[in-house]
């Protein structure tokens, strides 16, 4: 029998590149799918969300100012880190979702593949979502996709990792900064992936992950004046209607669940970009 103490980990918030306990001092217990204790997780507060929004707003211009190639390399580095810790991720997915080991490994593989997929899109979005427009004059007229800015994501409650990756990587891919509210009951795979950003060259504040009670946190982000868009893919349709109404006050872009599989379409890439029109004279 080992004489070492059992060193339990408390899973913390990711805000501005730092791993923090909630300013409120609160935490809550997360259990496995079978009801056994899994971990203590920080319970985020209104103040934690405000700090995350401030961090995201400050980081977003730098993230968008990087070249598309560079953003792709940063996302690809995250996939590399996830690949190196795939066994740990699979163990948590299995425990959180009640999956067999083989199914959990397959979920992690699909999640890593999706990060690589979005990394490949960073320098292709402009060609697909933008274009050159015909005009009657000696000018070029371009439609250029630009990010909405700061995007909140209310993550899927059942899919602890795969749906999280889809919801978060898409707005990051097109240049947004993200505040993600992880699954309330199954947050640890998302937090583990967030820990990997520390060695993935992500600027602090580009990706922020807050854990806690979804019913408490989602309305705060929906009504926040400095959040430009919100993905409601992780809430029920009735709750999505209420949150959409709250988001209307600040004219946010809103992505609502409609039963379609968003992982097989470009809808998430289109959801949080604006179209900027640029005119330029044709040189002689």
pLDDT digits (tens, 9 = 90+) for 44-60: 999 999 999 999 999 99
Question: What is the per-residue pLDDT for 263?
Answer: 65
- Residue 3 domain flag: no
How many domains in the chain? Answer: 1
Q: What residues contact residue 124 under an 8 Å CB cut-off, 6+ apart?
A: none
Q: Which residue has the higher pLDDT, 10 or 80?
A: 80
Instruction: Provide the residue range defining the domain that includes 211.
Output: 11-281
- Residue 91 domain flag: yes
Convert the pLDDT of each residue in 63-89 to its tens digit: 999 999 999 999 999 999 999 999 999
> Going edge to edge, which strands form the sheet with 253-255?
18-20, 13-15, 207-210, 177-181, 150-154, 229-231, 253-255
- Residue 1 domain flag: no
83-87, 138-142, 143-147, range with the lowest pLDDT: 138-142
- Residue 238 domain flag: yes
The tokens for 237 are 């349709």
Distance of CA 37 to the CA centre of its chain: 26
The CATH number covering residue 141 comes to 3.40.605.10
- pLDDT reading at 165 higher than 90: yes
Distance of CA 127 to the CA centre of its chain: 23
- Residue 6 domain flag: no
- Residue 5 domain flag: no
The tokens for 206 are 């580009």
* pLDDT interval class at 268 (50, 70, 90): confident
- pLDDT reading at 281 higher than 90: no
- Residue 2 domain flag: no
Question: What is the per-residue pLDDT for 9?
Answer: 84
- pLDDT reading at 120 higher than 80: yes
Question: What is the per-residue pLDDT for 91?
Answer: 95
- Residue 133 domain flag: yes
The DSSP annotation for the chain comes to: ---S---PPEE-EEETTEEE--TT--EEEEE-TTS-EEEEEE---HHHHHHHHHHHHHHHHHHHHS-HHHHHHHHHHHHHHHHHTHHHHHHHHHHHHT--HHHHHHHHHHHHHHHHHHHHHTTTHHHHH-EE---SSSEEEEEEEEE-SEEEEE--SS-SSHHHHHHHHHHHHTT-EEEEE--SSS-HHHHHHHHHGGGTTPPTTSEEEE-S-HHHHHHHHHH-TT--EEE-TTS-HHHHHHHHHHHHTTT-EEE---SS-GGGSSHHHHHTEEEEEEEEEPP-
């Amino acid at each position: 029998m080992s004489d070492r103490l059992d060193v339990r980990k408390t899973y913390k918030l990711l805000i501005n590149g730092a791993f923090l306990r909630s300013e409120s001092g609160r935490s809550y217990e997360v259990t496995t799918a079978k009801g056994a204790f899994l971990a203590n997780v920080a319970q985020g507060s209104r103040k934690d969300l405000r700090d995350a929004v401030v961090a995201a707003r400050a980081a977003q211009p730098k993230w968008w100012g990087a070249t598309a190639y560079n953003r792709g390399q940063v996302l690809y580095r995250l996939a590399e880190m996830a690949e190196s810790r795939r066994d740990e991720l699979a163990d948590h997915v299995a425990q959180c979702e009640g999956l067999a080991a083989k199914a959990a490994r397959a979920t992690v593989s699909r999640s890593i593949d999706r990060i690589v997929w979005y990394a490949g899109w960073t320098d292709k979005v402009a060609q697909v979502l933008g274009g050159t427009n015909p005009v009657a004059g000696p000018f070029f007229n371009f439609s250029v996709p630009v990010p909405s800015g700061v995007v909140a994501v209310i993550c899927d409650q059942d899919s602890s990792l795969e749906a999280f990756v889809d919801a978060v990587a898409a707005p990051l891919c097109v240049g947004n900064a993200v505040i993600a509210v992880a699954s309330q009951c199954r947050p640890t795979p998302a937090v583990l992936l967030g820990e990997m950003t520390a060695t993935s060259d992500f600027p602090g504040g580009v990706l922020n992950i807050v854990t806690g009670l979804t019913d408490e946190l989602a309305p705060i982000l929906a009504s926040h004046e400095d959040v430009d868009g919100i993905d409601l893919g992780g809430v029920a349709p009735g709750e999505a209607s209420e949150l959409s109404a709250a988001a209307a006050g600040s004219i946010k872009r809103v992505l609502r669940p409609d039963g379609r599989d968003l992982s097989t379409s470009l809808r998430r890439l289109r959801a949080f970009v604006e179209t900027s029109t640029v005119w330029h004279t044709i040189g002689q």
